[in-house]
């Protein structure tokens, strides 16, 4: 017990520093990913091919290439082209682009899952595209897309473990470094607990948003099934 407490007191400051890096990457990447997901999701939902096609190309490109390769390109290749980024912004941009592309499919699938009658009603009321989306379609799609976005948020936080590839000392880096002096069980056990606690906290917040969105719309349990169908359409899960 004394050895464990000594290890804990020694490791705590380092794990805290690693957690700060993980949070910067995770929360920053989540904000960028959300903005990209909404933008690309709306583009790929368009009925006009000239609007839909560019969004589809971007989504498929970032979904179809490795996050590791994207990180390496931004951090090691761009400087050779005269564009240098610090490690934290590089990680945030790479995570945002990669998971934003996946999130775009969640947004698109959720908007497509809004009952057809709702779309037809807005047409009958002569609503413009922007007014229709803001007032009628988006609030319903938002409640449907939150489960998928929650899942992607968890995946994004776990994806921050790649930060060590661009010289950042996150939770995973600290765990790997401490195993040499404190043993694998303690080092990776602590890292396991930190990631688990962080993701549980973030998931709980997302579930609260999901329940509030459903209550505001008076959604029934069958709407949860619709959300799952939207995730299936997006290929998330």
What's residue 52's pLDDT? 92
Of 134, 157, 131, 118, the closest CA to residue 33 belongs to 157
What's residue 28's pLDDT? 96
Supply the pTM of this predicted model: 0.84
Q: What is the 3-state secondary structure (H, E, C) of the chain?
A: CHHHHHHHHHHHHHHHHHHHHHHHHHHHHHHHHHHHHHHHHHHHCCCCHHHHHHHHHHHHHHHHCCHHHHHHHHHHHHHHHCCCCCHHHHHHHHHHHHHHHHHHHHHHHHHHHCCHHHHHHHHHCCCCHHHHHHHHHHHHHHHHHHHHHHHHHHHHHHHHHHHHHHCCCCHHHHHHHHHHHHCHHHHHHHHHHHHHHHHHHHHHHHHHHHHHHHHHHCCCHHHHHHHHHHHHHHCCC
**Residue 173 CB burial class (10 angstroms; 0-12, 13-18, ≥19):** buried
The separation between CA 111 and the C-alpha centre of its own chain, rounded to angstroms, equals 18
What's residue 2's pLDDT? 62
* Distance between first and last Cα of the chain: 40
- Tokens coding 156: 């994004």
φ and ψ of 52, to 5 deg: -70, -40
CATH of domain 2-234: 1.10.3720.10
What's residue 237's pLDDT? 46
pLDDT in tens, the chain (237 residues): 666 667 777 788 899 999 999 999 999 999 999 999 999 999 998 888 898 999 999 999 999 999 999 999 999 999 999 999 999 999 999 999 999 999 999 999 999 888 888 777 777 777 777 788 888 888 888 988 999 999 999 999 999 999 889 999 999 999 999 888 888 898 899 999 999 999 999 999 999 998 888 888 776 545 455 555 555 555 554
- Tokens coding 216: 């505001």
- Contact predicate 137/128, CB 8 Å: no
What's residue 95's pLDDT? 96
């Amino acid at each position: 017990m004394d050895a464990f407490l000594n290890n804990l007191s020694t490791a705590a400051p380092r794990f805290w520093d690693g957690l700060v890096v993980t949070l910067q990457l995770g929360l920053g990447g989540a904000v960028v990913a959300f903005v990209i997901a909404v933008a690309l999701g709306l583009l790929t939902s368009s009925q006009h091919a000239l609007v839909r096609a560019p969004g589809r190309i971007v989504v498929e490109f970032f979904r179809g290439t490795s996050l590791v390769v994207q990180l390496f390109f931004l951090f090691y290749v761009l400087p050779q082209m005269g564009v240098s980024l610090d490690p934290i912004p590089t990680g945030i941009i790479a995570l945002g682009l990669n998971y934003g592309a996946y999130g775009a499919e969640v947004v698109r699938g959720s908007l497509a899952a809004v009952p057809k009658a709702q779309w037809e009603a807005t047409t009958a009321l002569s609503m413009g595209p922007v007014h229709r989306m803001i007032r009628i379609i988006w609030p319903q799609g938002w409640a449907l897309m939150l489960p998928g976005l929650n899942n992607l948020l968890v995946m994004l936080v776990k994806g921050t473990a790649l930060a060590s590839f661009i010289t950042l000392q996150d939770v995973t880096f600290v765990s790997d470094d401490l195993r040499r002096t404190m043993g694998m069980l303690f080092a990776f056990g602590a890292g396991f607990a930190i990631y688990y606690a962080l993701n549980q906290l973030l998931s709980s917040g997302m579930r609260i948003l999901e329940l509030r969105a459903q209550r505001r719309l008076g959604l029934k349990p069958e709407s949860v099934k619709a959300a799952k169908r939207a995730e299936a359409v997006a290929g998330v899960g």
